[in-house]
Structure 1
Amino acid sequence: MTELPQQESSDETVDELLEEVLREFAELGPDTEPLRVELVTSEILGEWWEAGDDLAAELIEFASESTEPERLAAPLAALRTLATTEEQREAAAIALEKLGLPDPDWSGLLNQVTVGECWRTSDVYGDEASVLCVFGEGENAHGLLVSISYAVIGGWTDEAVIVESPAEVVDEMRAQAAEGGELVTCEQISPARAHQLLADAFVGTELQEEPEVTDDYVRFRALALARLRALPAPEPQAEPELLSAEDQARIIDEFFAASPDLADTEAARVCALRLIEFGIDQDPRRPLRVGPDKLSSFVDFVDDGEIELTDEQDEVLDEVLPAWARWGVSRDGLPEEAVEPLLEAVEDRLYERALETDTNLDAYLDGVEDLEEQDVAALLLRRQFAVPSVYTEIAGEEVELDPTDPEQRRLLVIGEHPEFQDSLAEDDLDEETFIVVAAHTTVVDQLWDDDPAEVWQAVRRMREKGLEREEIMTELARTLEAQLRAGEGDGLEFDLDDYLSALAELG
């Protein structure tokens, strides 16, 4: 969601905003259609919500001090029904009662709607759904149409809109299902079922700090939440599917038994376990469900570091993920028609991921000419071990750096060690920390240049023993630290022969 500048906190600014609201309500005459009042109120509440301001509370408090209370009757009457929290709705009702003024003619009609048909379309994988609830009848009918994604956090909505011709939308939903063959379903559902689906989706959105939602969501959010309150009580939710450690081990065994072309290695098994854990965390009611969006989101989580994989595990992900998709389709009994689109989506996401990595290959190949293909691969393996990414976070901001520049390469090293950053920024490194930083950056430089070559040889021995990159880099830095001595001025130096002897003992 686009972040808006925060409103200034001065009383004058708040008063100006409230005055603008009072002017908008003053334009609503006593014979204004209730839906028009609801739309105006919802748009105002949406603007406040997007800006992170709780001006509904400010307006309610303002009512008790206003010298023109008659101007407050309309907005308070609207908030009494449409404010998004029960506390604010009750506070608005109390404030309006204290004013002792008659309610606007339309106030008793707000959110007083009859509930009509409810419809739901969904893709066969369960990744996405759209829910339409019809309110009112005939020419006065309108609908609430909500899009729901189930790729993460158990489902959330990024778009909600009030539609004027719900019958036309139902026709479109049916046509979409007809065109989608076995990949799209369209069904009429009970209002109680619709309430449960929509309530869950709105909670999923509201739980996010900065949800990426459409302008329509912002505009219609308050009215949509009011319409949910007009629906019958939601039907009971399905309980999360609990998977014990034994269940997860059994599932992994079944997966490999059904995937004979996939090598049954420890790294591949960890990838399968991470997929199960991702499902438990992000899709708790159907943790083993497979879908294009869900599996793409898994890759996103890996790339963002929210799911940790070792280098070896990351390498086999390209094989595990398509196999997991095939097995999931078979396990869930999805139609044969669903297999190819799912595999294509998975392959496309993995290809995009490879391209994202490859866009930085020029930096890793700087200064390299006329190498055989196997030599290029070996060089990339070494340099990408030394500098896994050209992106890092410095002082809370993500930056892209050039690893061929020694100074920028040093920043990439520092980005891996946030514990050093405050001291470096303040130029307040103690001697011990200075040596640690110097050792880490020097080891990375040595690996980058393959000089001395014994450093990379030590890395390869330690990798063969199963050590992770972080453990290996710590060992290398510790080995170099033990050799460092004060040199001329503020510099450090070491005896190369002693250092090479110490490296030979590693691994």
Structure 2
Amino acid sequence: MTELPQQESSDDTESASELLEEVLREFAELDSAAEPLRVELVTSEILGEWWEAGDDLAAELIEFASAAPEPERLVAPLAALRSLATTEDQREAAGLALEKLGLGEPAWAGELNQVAVGECWRTADVYGDESSVLCVFGAGESAHGLLVSVGYALFGGWADEAVIVESPGEVIAEMQTQAAESGDLVTCEQITPGRAHQLLADAFVGTELQNDPEVTDDYVRFRALAMARTRALPEPEPVDPPRLLSTEDQAEAIDEFFRASADLEDTEAARVVALRLIEFGVEHDPRRPLRVGPDKLASFVDSVDDGALELTEEQDETLEKVLPAWASWGAWRDGLPEEAVEPLLEAVEDRLYERALETESTVDAYLDGFDDLDEQSVARLLERRQFAIPAIYTEIAGEEVELDPSDPEQRRLLVIGEHPDFQDSLAEDDLDEEAFLQVAAHTTVVDQLWDDEPAEVWQAAQRLLQRGLERTEVLDELARVLEERLEMGEGDSLEFDVDDYCRALDELN
């Protein structure tokens, strides 16, 4: 069958044109005498909307300038992008496009991001989990500040909030008061602008490394301006490189941990959990890989639960004993003040308690429809259903979702989540008969395993597992057997001969 070539959607083209037209209208409302900060805020908000939507309309606008029917309308947005675009390539391209137009620029064009740098301040919690950086720009009544919140539990530190503040002096006073009232849990210090540049630049990189960072609305709105103000700071000061831990260093740290944790049983499973904690630190906190903090340890647990870090069942059970001991040892090792240790241990216990509740809720979903089973029956039921659906989390259209495997429709989504090829076809409404049968076969096999009906499906799966096949290979084999026997019935229904299907399953060995 010959396929027609894919054409660009006219709806998408019209949508992009409408957005660009809206931008041109917004800049048309900014007269030549507009305050530079107002222009920067308008530009930053527009760029934030594009960034949040995943659309690189800045590049389209720059490209559009060369053939624009009304080039004078492009002067203002190009002048703004020359200073505020978030990549150097786009800033240079906007400048070149503006130069080619050869038209007069607004009075504010040369004043964008031309600001005097004032004081810079930083607060940080004693654990090293969170920090806020404030940089003052300008002086007197025109002074404003950039305030950025940075978390260090993941990605080597990343910014989740950024805002332009009108009264930076008041914010500095609030930061100092917070530190004074916290005892020894929060510090506040004035830092050099070069140090602030390094902290902010690294934090923005950490945010940009993520596919879908959880940031505030203010971060989206002020992102472009915050990055521009960071570039206005003096050159970043050099910092210590990441601390490299050799295999020997990691083994020594684990030995030291168990020597200091007399109440913790020194088992292979416990040692693996300690090693995973070190590996997590090396990846996400490279300058202080052994540091402990409530947010960092909670993120470690989240990574285990999300499947990013793999533990066996035995190792997972040991986690609840290892983590509090690791927190206690780390607090001693980091020299945390006494008043910081108890909140740390309480935060760890709270996270483990929440995890136990989540696990109990998950187990309830897998035991749906069965009551008063003995321990062996529960184990067999969980083995079969967790083979069919190993996790209640999946990614659909780039977004992680939690679903209930006991609900047939949500169970189907969990199956589809394991097959990105299915997702693409379904999203484009482009399932041909072959793809349709593949989706039907995989989802039906999982339903059969969940319900243990017919029983031959699970029996065949167990035999294939004993042969050394991986779970995905087993499911593919079972789905193949069913797919070969599926026939189209009335409407869109599918039919198959159960007896023939079971005989074919029995022959799988």
The 8 Å contact of residues 395 and 421 in structure 1, kept in 2 or not, is answered as no
Alignment match, 1:233: 235
Q: Pick one of 488, 498, 502 that aligns with 1:491.
A: 502
Q: Pick one of 332, 335, 352 that aligns with 2:334.
A: 332
Alignment match, 1:286: 288
- Residue 502 of structure 2 aligns with an amino acid whose one-letter code is G
SS of equivalent to 1:177: helix
**Structure 1 residue 15 corresponds to structure 2 residue 17:** yes
**Aligned equivalents of 2:10 and 2:178: distance in 1?**
43
The 8 Å contact of residues 124 and 130 in structure 2, kept in 1 or not, is answered as yes
Q: Deviations over 1:44-74 (max 9, x none)?
A: 1111222222222222232222333332222
Q: Pick one of 377, 384, 387 that aligns with 2:385.
A: 387
The 8 Å contact of residues 32 and 106 in structure 1, kept in 2 or not, is answered as yes
Q: Pick one of 102, 106, 109 that aligns with 1:107.
A: 109
| Count of residues paired in the alignment | 454
Q: Deviations over 1:227-267 (max 9, x none)?
A: 11110000113211111111111110000000000000000
**Aligned equivalents of 1:416 and 1:25: distance in 2?**
43
Q: Deviations over 1:441-487 (max 9, x none)?
A: 779949x9xx99xx9xxx9xx9xxxxx9979x98xx99xxxxxxx99
SS of equivalent to 2:245: coil
The 8 Å contact of residues 390 and 400 in structure 1, kept in 2 or not, is answered as no
**Aligned equivalents of 2:28 and 2:80: distance in 1?**
13
Distance 1:96 1:308, change over 3 A: same
Q: Pick one of 34, 37, 62 that aligns with 2:36.
A: 34
Q: What are the ranges of 5 or more consecutive residues in structure 2 without an aligned counterpart?
A: 1-8, 424-432, 479-496
**Aligned equivalents of 2:380 and 2:217: distance in 1?**
47
- Residue 382 of structure 2 aligns with an amino acid whose one-letter code is Q
In the TM superposition, 1:373-412 aligns within 5 A as 375=374, 379-388=377-386, 391=392, 400-402=403-405
Distance 1:279 1:118, change over 3 A: same
The 8 Å contact of residues 384 and 449 in structure 2, kept in 1 or not, is answered as no
Distance 1:235 1:410, change over 3 A: closer
Q: Deviations over 1:134-161 (max 9, x none)?
A: 0011111000000001111101111111
Q: What are the ranges of 5 or more consecutive residues in structure 1 without an aligned counterpart?
A: 1-5, 463-467, 479-485, 496-501, 503-507
Q: Which moved more, 1:19-28 or 1:154-163?
A: 19-28
SS of equivalent to 1:120: strand
Q: Pick one of 248, 261, 265 that aligns with 1:246.
A: 248
SS of equivalent to 2:60: helix
- Residue 251 of structure 1 aligns with an amino acid whose one-letter code is A
In the TM superposition, 1:91-490 aligns within 5 A as 91-363=93-365, 364=367, 366-369=369-372, 375=374, 379-388=377-386, 391=392, 400-402=403-405, 426-427=436-437, 445=452, 489-490=500-501
**Aligned equivalents of 2:413 and 2:434: distance in 1?**
14
Q: Pick one of 43, 54, 57 that aligns with 1:55.
A: 57
Aligned-residue offset at 1:217: 1.0
Give me the CA root mean square deviation.
Answer: 3.9
Structure whose CA Rg is larger: 1
**Aligned equivalents of 2:249 and 2:345: distance in 1?**
26
**Aligned equivalents of 2:110 and 2:185: distance in 1?**
44
SS of equivalent to 1:146: strand
The 8 Å contact of residues 62 and 94 in structure 2, kept in 1 or not, is answered as yes
**Aligned equivalents of 2:196 and 2:164: distance in 1?**
15
The 8 Å contact of residues 414 and 421 in structure 1, kept in 2 or not, is answered as no
- Residue 38 of structure 1 aligns with an amino acid whose one-letter code is E
TM-score calculated relative to the size of structure 1: 0.79
SS of equivalent to 1:212: coil
- Residue 300 of structure 1 aligns with an amino acid whose one-letter code is D
Aligned-residue offset at 1:213: 1.4
Q: Deviations over 1:400-429 (max 9, x none)?
A: 4555x9x89997997899699999965469
Aligned-residue offset at 1:87: 1.7
**Aligned equivalents of 1:221 and 1:412: distance in 2?**
35
**Aligned equivalents of 2:239 and 2:358: distance in 1?**
40
**Aligned equivalents of 1:236 and 1:135: distance in 2?**
22
SS of equivalent to 2:150: strand
The 8 Å contact of residues 413 and 441 in structure 1, kept in 2 or not, is answered as no
Distance 1:102 1:413, change over 3 A: closer
Q: Deviations over 1:325-365 (max 9, x none)?
A: 00000000010111111111111111111111112444427
Q: Which moved more, 1:262-271 or 1:102-111?
A: 102-111
Distance 1:469 1:355, change over 3 A: farther
Distance 1:416 1:347, change over 3 A: same
- Residue 387 of structure 1 aligns with an amino acid whose one-letter code is R
- Residue 249 of structure 2 aligns with an amino acid whose one-letter code is D
TM-score calculated relative to the size of structure 2: 0.79
The 8 Å contact of residues 126 and 336 in structure 2, kept in 1 or not, is answered as yes
The 8 Å contact of residues 113 and 135 in structure 1, kept in 2 or not, is answered as yes
SS of equivalent to 1:340: helix
**Aligned equivalents of 1:409 and 1:44: distance in 2?**
37
Distance 1:382 1:13, change over 3 A: closer
The 8 Å contact of residues 390 and 412 in structure 1, kept in 2 or not, is answered as no
Aligned-residue offset at 1:7: 11
**Aligned equivalents of 2:130 and 2:371: distance in 1?**
47
